[in-house]
Structure 1
Amino acid sequence: MIDKLEFFIALANEKHFGRAAEECGISQPTLSAAIRQLEDQLGVMLVQRGSRFQGLTPEGQRVLEWARRIVGDARTMREEMRAARKGLSGHIKIAVIPTALAMLPRITTPFQERHPDVTFSIVSRNSLQVLSMLENLEIDAGITYLENEPLGRVTSVPLYAEQYNLITAAGSPLSDRDSVTWKEVGSLRLCLLTADMQNRRIINHHLAEAGVTAHPTLESNSMIVLFSHVRTGRWASIMPRNVAKSFGFPAEIRMIPITEPQAHHLVGLVATHREPFTPLVSALLHEARVLAEEPEF
């Protein structure tokens, strides 16, 4: 039944029989037959059918909750037995908010040195997508904000607090200042992350507190795109200090703390709360805790 539950989870995630079958590496008729067999075994309809996928039935929604729990436990069991035979090995999938991507090597590098048979896949997603992917068993862990929006039932390890800076070219407005206020920053020609990013919602909030509204002339979901436009001298941006430092700014780029207020927002590693954790997730949580205890971090 485990394989059928995995197919059912894939269908719930993809909301399309063809894409779910492709995700599972099987044909669409095989997927459809497996879902019908699962319905026969459980004695309920799980999927509202028509000419295309129309959603889950109420019973299907409840079975989905059980399926995630059962499949998660089965994966944990398999990983534990593999670790008992071969030591820690396997593949870890992590989704990360854009502003935290630059710090990720501080976790993955020492982890891989300790466990050379473990590989990683890392994708950039917004905070809501990180939590959704965790719930749907699409990733093993995420790095996201911990304080501003509901996290659900997760285990979290606080890593650092974002501190915000004006990033601008030398010779541009405010570039000669040692610090600037949120109100002053609001008057500049800005490039910022897109509105679906929690970082952008945080920035909008602090600008609104200062009595100004952000009207960026360029938006992107990539920090690299923002930095490349700052380097032209025609845009300024607002970036967390750790991100700005990771770019290794040349002399013509200024990084100026934003005060009044000096805002801090906590970022950390999150994993679906379960006991026991898979050996891979347990080791990753341990690595995050080690990093969080470093004084300079």
Structure 2
Amino acid sequence: MLDRLELFLILARTRHFGRAAEEAGITQPSLSAAIRQLEAQLGCVLVNRGSRFQGLTPEGERVLDWARRLTGDVRAMKAELRAAREGLTGRLRLAVIPTALTTAARLSAAIASRHPGLRLTVTSASSIEILERLDDLTLDVGLTYLDNEPLGRARTLPLYAERYVLVTRTDDAPAGPELPWAELAALNLCLLTPEMQNRRIIDGYLSEAGVTVTPQVETNSTITLISHVIAGGWATILPSRAAEPFLATGPLTATPLTAPDAHHAVGLVYPPREPVPPLLKAFLAEARGFAE
């Protein structure tokens, strides 16, 4: 049954029989047959079918939750047995909000030096995508906001408080060591796209300060934001940690934003599973050394 549950998870995530079969490396008729066999074993219809995938039935939604738990537990068991035989080896999948990628690099370097048999896949994702991928079992751990939007059942490990700065060219920097949020209205801003939680946080503080902005440039990449600021004519708002690597050299400067002195917690999110898989357990242990 476990193999069929794995196929059911892929189908629920892709919502397409053809794409699910391709990802699983089998033919579409084989996938359809496996899902029907699973339905026969469980005694209920899991998938609404027509000429194409039409979603899960109510029973299918309940089975999806069980399938995630059972499959996750079996994967964790296999990982623990492998670690007992071979030591800490394998791949850990980490997804990171764009503004925390510099912290992710520090974490990766620390754990790689301590556990050379561990391989990391690090991807950039929105906070919503991170939670979805944890549920779908396509992610082991995420680095995201902890205190701004609901996290569902995910467990958390706080690492630091994110604070915000205005990044400009040095020759465009505002006068004074600080700048109130209310004074950003006159600036030509480039910002992250609205699906990014950082943008929603920034929009909230701008609104609180009575400021309405219409960014001329929006992107899901902090590198793209910085590139536009360097080109001249734009400013952007970033967490101070995200801005730091770009300030050491080059023509940029960062001005702390005040009134309010806003901050949000950033840290790790991971599935509520016991025991914690060995690779994830080692990663969390290393991350605790970075916590403020």
Normalising by the smaller structure, the TM-score range is: over 0.9
Give unmatched runs, 5+ long, in structure 2: none
Q: Distance in 2 between matches of 1:186 and 1:75?
A: 51
Aligned to 2:154: 154
Q: Distance in 2 between matches of 1:6 and 1:47?
A: 15
Moved over 6 A (4+): none
Please say if residues 170 and 176 of structure 1, whose CA atoms lie closer than 8 Å, have aligned partners that are also in contact.
Answer: no
Aligned to 1:218: 217
Deviations 1:192-222 (A, max 9, x none): 0001111001100111111111211100000
Alignment of 1:72-87 (within 5 A): 72-87=72-87
Give unmatched runs, 5+ long, in structure 1: none
Aligned to 2:15: 15
Deviations 1:244-280 (A, max 9, x none): 0022453521211111111111100110111111111
Aligned to 1:234: 233
Q: Distance in 2 between matches of 1:82 and 1:113?
A: 20
Alignment of 1:41-52 (within 5 A): 41-52=41-52
Q: Distance in 1 between matches of 2:250 and 2:4?
A: 58
What is the CA-CA distance between 1:150 and the residue it aligns to? 0.5
Aligned to 1:280: 279
User: Residue type of the partner of 1:79?
Assistant: A
Q: Distance in 2 between matches of 1:283 and 1:25?
A: 32
What is the CA-CA distance between 1:170 and the residue it aligns to? 2.4
Give the 3 Å change call, closer, same or farther, for CA 81–251 of structure 1 in structure 2: closer
Aligned to 1:188: 187
User: Residue type of the partner of 2:261?
Assistant: Q
Q: Distance in 1 between matches of 2:28 and 2:92?
A: 28
SS of match in other structure, 1:192: strand
Q: Distance in 2 between matches of 1:81 and 1:277?
A: 13
Please say if residues 169 and 175 of structure 1, whose CA atoms lie closer than 8 Å, have aligned partners that are also in contact.
Answer: no
TM-score normalised by length of structure 1: 0.96
User: Residue type of the partner of 2:51?
Assistant: S
User: Residue type of the partner of 2:38?
Assistant: L
SS of match in other structure, 1:84: helix
Q: Distance in 1 between matches of 2:118 and 2:28?
A: 32
Q: Distance in 1 between matches of 2:34 and 2:213?
A: 51
Identity in percent: 54
Please say if residues 189 and 215 of structure 2, whose CA atoms lie closer than 8 Å, have aligned partners that are also in contact.
Answer: yes
Q: Distance in 2 between matches of 1:62 and 1:181?
A: 49
Q: Distance in 2 between matches of 1:171 and 1:51?
A: 61
What is the CA-CA distance between 1:25 and the residue it aligns to? 2.0
Alignment of 1:22-37 (within 5 A): 22-37=22-37
Please say if residues 21 and 27 of structure 1, whose CA atoms lie closer than 8 Å, have aligned partners that are also in contact.
Answer: yes
TM-score normalised by length of structure 2: 0.97
